[in-house]
Structure formats: structure tokens, C-alpha cells
Amino acid sequence: MTTDNGDDPGRRISPSAIVELALDAHRPVVTIHDVARRAGVSSMTVSRVINGKRHVSEDTRERVNAAIAALNYSPNLTARSFSSAIRIGALYSNPASSNLGTFLMGAFRESGVSGCQFQIEPGVSEEEAIAGLHRLVEARVAGVILPPPLCDNPTLLDMIERANIIPLAFATARPREGVSAIIVDDYKGAFDMTRHLIDLGHRAIAFIQGDPRHSPSQRREQGYRAAMAGAKLTIAEEWIAPGLFTYRSGLTAARQLLAAQRRPTAIFASNDDMAAAVIAVAHGMDLDVPGDLSIAGFDDAAIAATIWPELTTVRQPIAVMAARAVTLLNEHIRAARSGAPPKVSHVREMLTLVQRASTGPAPFPPS
């Protein structure tokens, strides 16, 4: 008995071949990580051996090849079939961020236009980021986009360099000399927002810090402090609250600030997720926003225009920045493939202060 092949009626497949295909579908797939474990090396080392890269000792190369043979490992055929295409990866550090969807929209749109393949992996902790990087290596990406705090992590950057992958720092406040980056002026954005609140008559302006691991957090706080100092305004210790760029941390910070002995008339949060949480807490305390309390954020994430009142914020063009990151990596990878010398670019995007309904005049004249 034989069975027709729907793709080619003239070709016959035996039942035994069909059974074999079905069994193969249920067998565990041998991955590059299995090879790495057997050989006692990293997945990146296995990748370098497979791709014929240098900087691998002969002893290590022999162990990797022996593991490949013992496990009957075959590199991902789908990835092989797209060997001529440029593949770009990205790691994301905050899956709950309102900015993630906007970032993906810009990155996927540009990758479709430019013909790149785009893959994203989680990297909340350093351990998870390394695991995500291993998956990107297995997918044979040629470049990787790193947001804060991953773009400031020397261990991760060193691993990427040793894997012969081109890194790009996304929205870092500390661009490195040898790493391309898409940057904004977090200091100026925070300075301008604080000045906006001062110009509205506010003198008791509190600040919610961002994740201390993120370099933009530090620059935003510096901008706030510089604007307050420039206006000769004293910052009470109780007006500074820690945050982690998450909605939940914003709830905790808001409760702390609004329970202060001298309650602020304005709160500037380091991002929109935390600012939205402040609005929620203010509503729960029957405070009028902005009549009793002005609230401002940073980023102009989707949440800024969907809460009530709509949030005054600093617009960071995340979708544009993501698209530019894909374009820049695409250019760098093509140049590297043509043998051109490595190129590093630091591209600055502009921030815009967006005034909406969550900020207004101070509830009493400034003293």
C-alpha cells in the first residue's frame, strides 16, 4: 500500500516513511544548549564552532564536534533557509511596561520594511537575559537591541562581543564609546518638566525615582534637582520616594508622599506607569487632580492618554526610536558583511513636553 503525496501526485511515500516522520515529530529536539552541556562549554562557543569563527582552541573545537556527532545535532533548518536574511534580536527588561507594545510596533514595522527578521526575548534578570541571549545566538541573530539596564551591563556586553554579535544600546543615559546607541536627553526632559511645574506656581514638588539599575533614572532625578536648585527651592527629604518604573511601585511611592507631614502640591514621577498610579491613589483619597494635586510623568506611553485626567508628560518617541534602532543595526550588519570597518553611531532623538489635564496652578499662591 502506498499513499499519495499531495504536493506531487506522481511521487509515492511508503507507510513506513510516514511512521518514521510521525516518530520524528515526537522525538525530543536536540538543541545547541544540549551540545553545549555535553561538551562542557557555552552555547555561544558551540555557535562559533558551527560558524567557523576564530578564537576557539583546537581542544574545545574537537570536544564540540564530538558532542555534535554523539547527539546527531543538526542546526536549525529554518534558520539555515534564511541564511541570507539579516536577523536582529532584542531583549526586554520590563514585560509590564506600557512602552513595550509601542517599542514592538516600531521595531516590527521597520523590520518588515527593511526585510529583516526580528526576534524578541525576555531579560528581566541577568540570568534570564543570558538565557534569552543564548536563544538569540541559536537563532543566528547578527545584532541585538538592549534597553536599560541591560545596555549598561558589562557582563552581557562582553558576552555579545565574544559571540560576534553587534550590540545597540536603546535609551541608555550612558552611551559607551564602542557601542552604537539610540539616546534622548533625560536630564533636559526632567529639567523642563520640573520648570513647567514651577512656572505653574508649585514650590512643594515631590519626585518618584525610577529603577536605580537604569541609567535614565539617575539623569531624570538630576534634571529635577537642577531645576529645583535653579529656582532656589529646597527639596524636603520626604519629597523623594523610591520607585521601580512599575505601577505597583508607584502606588507605594504615592501613599508615602501623600502621607508626608508637608504634603506636596505636585508630584513628578520618573515614568508614566508610576504617575498613573499616583492619580489612582489621589482619587482614592478624594483629592482633585489637578485642583489639589498636579501630577506629571515621563515617556508619553499609551497609558498617559487613557487615564483620567490625561497625563502631562515628557514624550519619548519610542516607536520612532525602535525603528531607528532596527535601521541602524541593519546598516551596521550589512557594512560588516561587506568587510567595511566597524562603525559606531550615537543617534539622539528629541523629547517633547506634552501638557494635558493632570497639571494646573498650585492650589495656593507660592510663598
Please name the helix (run of DSSP H) or strand (run of DSSP E) that holds residue 212, with its range, or none: none
Candidate from 61-75, 87-101, 245-259 with smallest mean pLDDT: 61-75
Q: Is the pTM of this model over 0.85?
A: no
Where are the domains positioned within the chain? Answer: 3-79, 86-184+317-351, 186-316
Region at 4 (left for phi over 0; alpha for psi -120 to 50; beta for the rest): beta
Task: Report the CATH fold assignment for 86-184+317-351.
Answer: Rossmann fold (3.40.50)
CA neighbor of 119 nearest in space, from 76, 161, 149, 159: 76
* 3-state SS string for 120-160: EEECCCHHHHHHHHHHHHHCCCCEEEECCCHHHCHHHHHHH
CATH dotted code for 3-79: 1.10.260.40
> The cell 525602535 sits on which residue?
322
What was the pLDDT predicted at 114? 87
Check for a shared fold between 86-184+317-351 and 186-316: yes
Amino acid at 135: R
Task: Tell whether the model's pLDDT for residue 259 goes beyond 90.
Answer: yes
Q: How does pLDDT run across 284-313, given as a tens digit for each residue?
A: 999 999 999 999 999 999 999 999 999 999
Mean pLDDT of the 199-213 span: 97
- Torsion from C-alpha of 65, 70, 71, 76, nearest 10 degrees: 30
Q: ω into residue 149 within 30 of 0, thus cis?
A: yes
CB contact at 8 A, 223 and 173: no
Query: Cell for 137?
Result: 545566538
Question: How many CA atoms, within 13 angstroms, populate the side-chain half-sphere of residue 185?
Answer: 11
Q: What does the alpha-carbon distance between residue 48 and residue 26 come to, in Å, rounded to a whole number?
A: 29
Task: Report the CATH fold assignment for 186-316.
Answer: Rossmann fold (3.40.50)
CB contact at 8 A, 361 and 148: no
**Order of strands across the sheet that contains 294-296:** 240-241, 205-208, 266-269, 294-296
* pLDDT band, residue 84 (cuts 50/70/90): low
Q: How does pLDDT run across 4-59, given as a tens digit for each residue?
A: 444 443 334 333 332 343 344 335 667 788 888 999 998 888 888 887 776 788 88
Q: How does pLDDT run across 317-364, given as a tens digit for each residue?
A: 999 999 999 999 999 999 998 888 888 999 999 999 999 999 999 997
Of the ranges 24-28, 98-102, 153-157, 229-233, which is most confident? 229-233
